Structure 1
Amino acid sequence: MRADVRQVAGEGILLAGGGCAILLQVADPVVAAGVARHSDFAERPMARLRGTLRYVYSIVFGTTAAADRAARHVDRAHAPVAGARDPHRQLWVAATLYDTAIRIHSRVFGPLDEASADEVYRAYAVLGTALQVPAELWPADRAAFAEYWRATLATLRVGDDARRIARDLLHPRKAPLWLKAAMPLARLVTAGLLPAELRAAYGLPWSARRARRYERAFTVITAVYRGLPRPLREWPMRHYLPRADRA
């Protein structure tokens, strides 16, 4: 299918990959340590997700002023966190956002055509370069990204910090009732999206039966979501990015 980055990044269904992206990020021990020591993750389980959404939507859909403001906010938040401004860690965080977004979008809408896939890939680089990632550090093309992704996955280590974050994320103690009601499905989708090695390292239960449930769940989610009107599908973007801040 044909699409540009705004059509991809604006789809609310990408939120289904949020848990997977966070667990990929904190599988880097430096990222996990920063989150564990400088984030009230357990007390405010939605805060990191909201912050990430505001950043992504501001960079992709926002005015220049809104994008600059979002980048400065993230920089200030990262200032006291050891390793958080390391461009290689920021590259990894941006890479997880791209990878989960493109996998969810392809699952729901089908693969992008080659030209669109290349365009969307190049556009996602701005999520890193708006911070401390030099443009030349973003892999040159999708083939280079695939190699970077494979190499980085091999270096990840799920430690105690990452497991605590996963527990707080997937079993929130303080959350609205609607979120708690959605968590069984969220846990299933998150586990299904993770690479098998990381799923096992996090101790997330998996079996042939769970795999079938995951496939059935995505089939239903896809059928329902694709029937929604675009304004409703883009509600998260419209909610987190005020009209005045949109380009």
Structure 2
Amino acid sequence: MPRTAPTTLLGTVSSLGTTSGVANIIQQLALPPVGEGVSESRVVSGSPRRYPVKRARTTGQYLALAVAGNDEDRAAMRAAVAQVHRHVRSGEHSPVAYNANAVDLQLWVAACLFRFFVDQHVLLYGDLSRTELDTLVRAAAPLATGVNVRPEHWPADWAAFEDYWANMLPRMAISDEVRRDFESLADLGFLGEAWGLPGRLLSQAFGPAYHFMTRGNLPPYFRELMGWSWTPRDQRRFERALTALRWADRLGNRVVLRMVYRLYVADFRIRRRLGLKVLGRLRVSDLMVRDGGGRRWPARVRQVDRSR
């Protein structure tokens, strides 16, 4: 059967995307002001270390609104994101200066999110033509405008996007603190911090496989920044996983995933009609989340037990 080229970002969604979220986060946070901003964050309510299900929902909704929402939806999300980002600013002792609402940082994050959609399709189904990529670049503009990037700052076509991406790569660097955060995300260790014993059991059961898929989805340049190895044997194993994921798409998983995106949009609209905060109640701690800010009960018990 001939491949149908996607003309929208929703058309690129595939089973592989369920395994590549952390790989994309690593790309976003490899830009030091972004990585340090997240690592030093005091916004408890938006942290996967405290509320992983909520964080997955709000991130999923942002992506869903960009690819399947309307202008009104995106405007409401844009305002909510800007409010949260006002609390993510560098302090006196921060290793680099940052402001989460800075346009250059948000443009990089949006570019990485665009790669999340494109890369999952390309890895599973092969390269796209320049015309197809140009179409997708234009379709991806809401990923940037949704975080207050002006439309004219988003690349006009794939050639412009490639130039932007290549010019940004020399700025990438990963500190030891941020690398530890990445490891915790890749092996699902953060679930233990959020949920205590149940989270640790989930990490032990699924962490090794997710860590492997994270390494496989990560472009070699970023893999090297992480200090992760990748052998021919790893590549063969990854190819077998891709084959399984193609079969999952053929058996209907791709349809299910696109439906999930539309359900995210519906949930977002229902929340707005009910007068609920679209990102939930904002909670900001005096402590960084990584230093224990907003620590939840199961994790606190685990910490006390370990100190005996």
RMSD: 2.6
Q: Which residue, 19, 24, 36 being the options, matches 1:21?
A: 24
| CA pair 187-244 structure 1, distance change in 2 beyond 3 A | closer
1:154-173 to structure 2, matched below 5 A, reads 154-171=170-187, 172-173=189-190
Q: Which residue, 4, 7, 25 being the options, matches 1:4?
A: 7
1:73-84 to structure 2, matched below 5 A, reads 73-82=80-89, 83-84=99-100
C-alpha separation in 2, matches of 1:137 and 1:118? 16
Compute the displacement of 1:21 (Å): 1.0
> What amino acid maps onto 1:66 in structure 2?
D
Residue 209 of structure 1 aligns with which residue?
A: 233
C-alpha separation in 1, matches of 2:67 and 2:80? 16
Residue 117 of structure 2 aligns with which residue?
A: 101
Residues 37-58 of structure 1: per-residue CA shift (max 9 Å, x gap): 2153433445544322111111
C-alpha separation in 2, matches of 1:200 and 1:2? 31
Residue 54 of structure 1 aligns with which residue?
A: 61
Residue 216 of structure 2 aligns with which residue?
A: 192
The normalised TM-score by structure 2 is 0.71
- What secondary structure, in the 3-state scheme, does the structure 1 residue paired with 2:191 have? coil
| CA pair 56-239 structure 1, distance change in 2 beyond 3 A | same
Residues 151-170 of structure 1: per-residue CA shift (max 9 Å, x gap): 21121001123212202211
C-alpha separation in 2, matches of 1:6 and 1:137? 19
Residue 33 of structure 2 aligns with which residue?
A: 30
- Is residue 19–residue 213 contact of structure 2 (8 Å, CA) maintained in 1? yes
Higher alpha-carbon deviation: 229-238 or 71-80: 229-238
> Aligned pair count?
246
Residue 148 of structure 1 aligns with which residue?
A: 164
Compute the displacement of 1:10 (Å): 4.9
- Is residue 71–residue 130 contact of structure 1 (8 Å, CA) maintained in 2? yes
- Is residue 13–residue 254 contact of structure 2 (8 Å, CA) maintained in 1? no
- Is residue 15–residue 254 contact of structure 2 (8 Å, CA) maintained in 1? no
Residue 143 of structure 2 aligns with which residue?
A: 127
Higher alpha-carbon deviation: 158-167 or 10-19: 10-19
C-alpha separation in 2, matches of 1:198 and 1:229? 29
2:177 is the alignment partner of 1:174: no
C-alpha separation in 1, matches of 2:82 and 2:204? 31
Moved over 6 A (4+): none
- What secondary structure, in the 3-state scheme, does the structure 2 residue paired with 1:5 have? coil
| CA pair 235-168 structure 1, distance change in 2 beyond 3 A | farther
- Is residue 27–residue 157 contact of structure 1 (8 Å, CA) maintained in 2? yes
Structure 1: tracts of 5 or more residues without a match: none
- Is residue 122–residue 128 contact of structure 2 (8 Å, CA) maintained in 1? yes
The normalised TM-score by structure 1 is 0.86
- What secondary structure, in the 3-state scheme, does the structure 2 residue paired with 1:102 have? helix
> What amino acid maps onto 1:240 in structure 2?
Y
C-alpha separation in 2, matches of 1:41 and 1:121? 29
Residue 225 of structure 1 aligns with which residue?
A: 249
Compute the displacement of 1:220 (Å): 1.6
Compute the displacement of 1:197 (Å): 3.4
